[in-house]
Structure 1
Amino acid sequence: MPMRRSRIRRAVTAAATNHRIAEAMTRAEPIRLIAEDYVAGETLTDAVATALDRVDKGLEVTLHPLSTEIADPRAAEDTTGSLIGAVEELGSWPELEGHAEVSINLTSLGLRLPGGGPRAALEHAEAVCRAARNHGVLVTVEDEGPEVHPETFEIVTSLLADFPDTGVVVQAARHDSLDQIRELAAPGRRIRLCKGAYSGPAREMVTRPHDVDLRMASCLRALLQSPATAMIATHDPVFVAIAERLIADLGRGPDDTEFQMLQGIRPLEQRRLADIGLKVRVYLPWGREWYRYCVRQLLDRPANLWLFSRSLVVHR
């Protein structure tokens, strides 16, 4: 049965992200209007304008350029150049100083290229991190799934040696999530904890929803009790409330703790947290691949369907 569900999911993913279907959907005005609430635009100019608006409202921002997995070294170099350009643009705005971050996908930097993909991805990530450091912009490396998790974790560990403020993503639903937090937690380290942004085999992932919640609670406590900067990526009211209580009990504040939420999801809650003195960072995806991004968000985490549909009715 799990194998059948996996085959069905792959078929649905292939159909939903088919180039022709995606092109048709991106031209459909109703779809574009809905997507405007969740994506910061198709161009860097759009994304920066959205970022400036959010920072003006007292929020932090993470810009995530939407791109597909690349197929040749030249494309990886082009993507790296585009990321560096985005970093330079963010760094050119005084209003964004100390408030801006970019998140990067290593598969877009060549991770899966044959014959030295991980080495190429590391070199390209280092180039982005150097530019970010020079322009006062932070970087977080995404965890893109079980298929590339070992290589991603190894590259992030290498980056931390020279760029210790590189953000690391820990998926609570992974069996080794607590071990990762204990291994990574150190002063100056930035760890983004989320419940689980992808599905995976039972040998790697906790699958029962109740067990995932228990693991998330354990990871949240371990992270907030650690010396690392805690980046809590959740929209779940239960975990927001747990985190608020732990932050108060442990005496943590905006210098070493932040909430992270997606653009368009629970904006009133983002505002509430910021108004009571907590740091809130809004995740701003941008680019022409916005339709595939939205579809994959729903396919990888079906619970996101509830978040997206609810936010169409009430922005809380």
Structure 2
Amino acid sequence: MISPQGLSIASTLRLSSGYDMPVLGLGVFQNYDCVPACLAALKHGYRHIDTARYYQNEDQVGRAVRQSGIPREEIFVTTKVYDQDQGYESTTRAVDDSLQKFGYGKQPSLGAYADYFDLYLIHSPLPGKEKRLQTWRALIDAKKAGKIKTIGVSNYGAKHIEEIRAAGLELPAVNQVEIHPFCQQRPIAKYCKEQGIVVQAYSPLVQGRLDEPVLVRLAKQYNKDAAQIAIRWSLQHGFVPLPKSSQPERVLTNSQVYDFELSEEDMAALDALDKGKAGAITWNPVDAR
């Protein structure tokens, strides 16, 4: 666990790439009109937005970043290459297309405003080893070209990352996986910690399924809602949670998690809710071949 002391909306983690990533991000999956949520997040101190080509809203994230008036270099934006785009040439095209959607070239007066992503991930390991490695090489080259600052993976198990090591390539700085009290992904989380790979936690709010008695009890005890308890648990474990909401008011409350600290006893009670893989609520392809 990281020390909860001093955590704030402005807290960051240093990645192996040398860049800092905010420890709380806004997820925009299935939010096809995400500009209001993004603007609310940026207004209330978020500096990290997580999108993907599959989400079909890279353009809206770019629009919100520009409309916010916040300098581009102060906002950390993640996107991902999806399965059908994997492969060296197709990934290279996908990165360029993502940049175009995000806004590169649309406002020349802003110069290099949108000509890079802070983090670009391989969305899943499902296309198989050959394409995974081709895709990874394409991301490495895109980073060398200045189009991406940091590269990483999503839904990867240890064996997928070890493929990268065996190929003599740099390891990912980030692995984004489904993590919440009911699906804690302990083997891959432990492996990533040992390798210096930061773990981003998607679906930290269990897609709203937060009526479990322990969460309800702790919400009452701390005078918080169950979502805030789940996010705080993730932060205190050293993960980077990416709660999503299309409602600006929920975007705000999801960030109000820095004025309390879960005790060791209460963290243990939440840890005990883990159901392993059975607790997953999404595709969770960490064991893909």
The TM-score normalised by the length of structure 2 is 0.47
TM-score w.r.t. length of structure 1: 0.44
